[in-house]
Structure 1
Amino acid sequence: MDKLKQAYEQMGLPENASKEDVEKRYSILARQARTRKQRQGSSAPESNDDYFAAVTEAYRLILDLDNQKSVEQINEREYGKYKKYAGTVEKTDHFFRYYKFHLLGGIVAVVLIIVGIQTYLNYQAEQERLAKLPPIDLSVMFIGDFIQKDSDELSILEEALLVHNPEWKRTSVSMTFLPSQSQNDHMLRQKAILILMTEKPDAYIMDRSTFDWLSDQGLLRNLDEEAELGFQSDLPPNAAVKGKSSKDTAEHIYGIDLTSSPAVQKLPLKLKEFIFGIRAGGSNDDKALQFIANYLKSE
């Protein structure tokens, strides 16, 4: 405490001076030191600098001790109730206060690692499951105003499509819901475009408004020859659906309307129209054409 007493004497203050008095006194002494230095210039004695350095050291000592006293008072109020355990509680509290973000970050990192591992294991399990399945005979995208009747599981629909193709082992089905009354909805259309850009099914099953859109986009294969030679004897009236493409303004057959097929009526779907079209540029046209032929002959 002798140092503290000397510090107050150095600044010309009583020991009971407040913090505000210390701040004001230091400001006065700092202005006086600057004024003397400006007046004396380069001829100012070094003792002036030594004196102000001693004042500054005294000022810092007083403030440090005052801050320490304030902290001790706060700790006494906060941790004094714990008595002999106050020190332990204080250290624990400080630890969590200073490192809580590190702890939270660590917990988040552990959770992310666990989720990542679980996701990877699930992915591996799914890949193993898919590897055991037979190859896909035909992939089909339902796009338009189609809603499954009983379940959201597409596997039911995949099994239903195999009924009239008994030699096949597996079909793959995806569904893009695009209501007829919302065909001009920009957001729904943009979403459908993104799906069509990323997914490449062998065939599309559509309602009429979606058929017109896809044929205009040039996404459907020309079926003129097949309708005239391959399906002619089995085609019901008006089953060959014509459309125009932006690349070819002449009308061509781009779809086969299978809505009246008894096999189609048994599918687990709510539908008004069932137009089957083959994706232009696909590599599985033979089985897609076989699908049409089987459903035209179904009873």
Structure 2
Amino acid sequence: MEDLKQAYETLGLPETATKEELENRFFLLTRRARAQKMREGGDTPAEEAVDLDKISEAYRFIRDYEENQAKAEFTAQEYGKFKGMANKAQKWDHFFHYYKFHMLIGLIVLALIGYGIKAFVDHREEQARLAKLPPIDLSVMFYGEFFYGESFGADTEPLGEEILKRFPDWKRVKAELTYVPSEVRSEQDMALIQKSVIVLLDNKSDLFIVDKANFEKLANQGFFLPLDSYEGAGAGELPQDGDSQAIVYQPVDSNGQPEPSLDEAVYAIDLSETPLGDELGVNGTGQYYAAIKASAANPEKAAQFILHYLNEAE
């Protein structure tokens, strides 16, 4: 087919024919040719076969021309503003269209790799920083419905420094705070309770400051050192059974029955009436029970901490 005008003449249509008119005309001509062929028993004259071929060729020519025109108009509209760079802009657009998901996945992978590298570097730097610090004199865990600063205590390094000011002979105090809600009021509370259980699995704190509810939970698990059998430094000065600050407790099992493997003893010292909370900026229920962990590495320093606040209360 030589040109568009000839194609329209072959189909018997004006060049202004619509797409619907083109489709209807092509369908009509092909149906008419097939009907004539069937009437003549398949013995169609050669000139009619040629006409059918020309009709099909003319139809395809017009369709291709219209599609090319539509593409050209779209390209001019979308990329005409790039002028001499229109072809390159179109190629880049096609590239991003077909490979955008591959690129997105690639960017995510790169971001994860970058995050992993940064986390590794930060960890190495933190380990190097900790290695330069002096040994820990006392590790303190505030465990209960306590607040520190403006949150649950995400950054407790200043808390450790505040404790260290009270003990000039010490070089380093590590302080942690784990918020444990007293009641489950939301999914967040449930998540915090689950987190608090995980914290205990590998915790190496010497001294625990707990509220009453959490003291009983942990004492029932044999978590604390019986202070009336403690023989380390300061043992004779710690409150004993009969003193108002001494928390005498009988651990119980899951059924609420006395735990036979754990005797009734002084498992904590009540520091609620001392300046501890106000001085250190730890708020909450107002209950501060100080208990030494059964496996404490520095029980003498833990006892010294307790005695310091008992003396301040006098």
TM-score relative to the length of structure 2: 0.67
Corresponding residue of 2:209? 205
Output one character per residue of 1:229-280: Cα deviation in whole Å (capped at 9) or x when no partner.
5446521424224253427721744433233456676434336222133557
CA apart distance, 1:55: 3.4
CA apart distance, 1:129: 1.6
CA apart distance, 1:133: 2.6
For 1:27 and 1:178, how far apart are their aligned partners in 2? 79
CA apart distance, 1:68: 2.2
For 2:25 and 2:140, how far apart are their aligned partners in 1? 88
For 1:278 and 1:49, how far apart are their aligned partners in 2? 104
| 1:35-50 alignment runs, 5 A limit | none
For 2:119 and 2:230, how far apart are their aligned partners in 1? 51
CA apart distance, 1:296: 3.8
Corresponding residue of 2:176? 174
For 1:79 and 1:267, how far apart are their aligned partners in 2? 66
Asked if the contact 2:245/2:271 (under 8 Å) is kept, the reply is no
Gaps of 5+ in 1: none
Q: Which amino acid aligns with 1:294?
A: Q
Q: Does residue 237 of the first structure (1) align with residue 244 of the second (2)?
A: yes
Output one character per residue of 1:179-212: Cα deviation in whole Å (capped at 9) or x when no partner.
55xx242531432222321453234321113323
| 1:49-198 alignment runs, 5 A limit | 52=52, 54-73=54-73, 86=83, 88-100=84-96, 105=103, 108=107, 112=111, 117-148=117-148, 153-162=155-164, 169-178=171-180, 180=182, 183-187=183-187, 188-198=189-199
Asked if the contact 1:159/1:171 (under 8 Å) is kept, the reply is yes
Instruction: Compute the RMSD of aligned alpha carbons.
Output: 4.3
Secondary structure (helix, strand or coil) at the match of 2:66 reads helix
For 1:148 and 1:89, how far apart are their aligned partners in 2? 61
| 1:254-293 alignment runs, 5 A limit | 254-260=267-273, 266-270=279-283, 272-278=286-292, 284-287=295-298, 289-293=299-303
Structure 1's 21 and 149: CA in aligned 2 closer, same or farther, altered over 3 A? closer
Corresponding residue of 2:307? 297
For 1:205 and 1:70, how far apart are their aligned partners in 2? 77
Gaps of 5+ in 2: none
Secondary structure (helix, strand or coil) at the match of 1:276 reads strand
For 2:293 and 2:91, how far apart are their aligned partners in 1? 65
Secondary structure (helix, strand or coil) at the match of 2:174 reads strand
CA apart distance, 1:60: 1.8
Identity among equivalent positions (%) equals 29
Secondary structure (helix, strand or coil) at the match of 1:2 reads coil
Q: Does residue 13 of the first structure (1) align with residue 17 of the second (2)?
A: no
Number of matched pairs: 285
CA apart distance, 1:294: 1.2
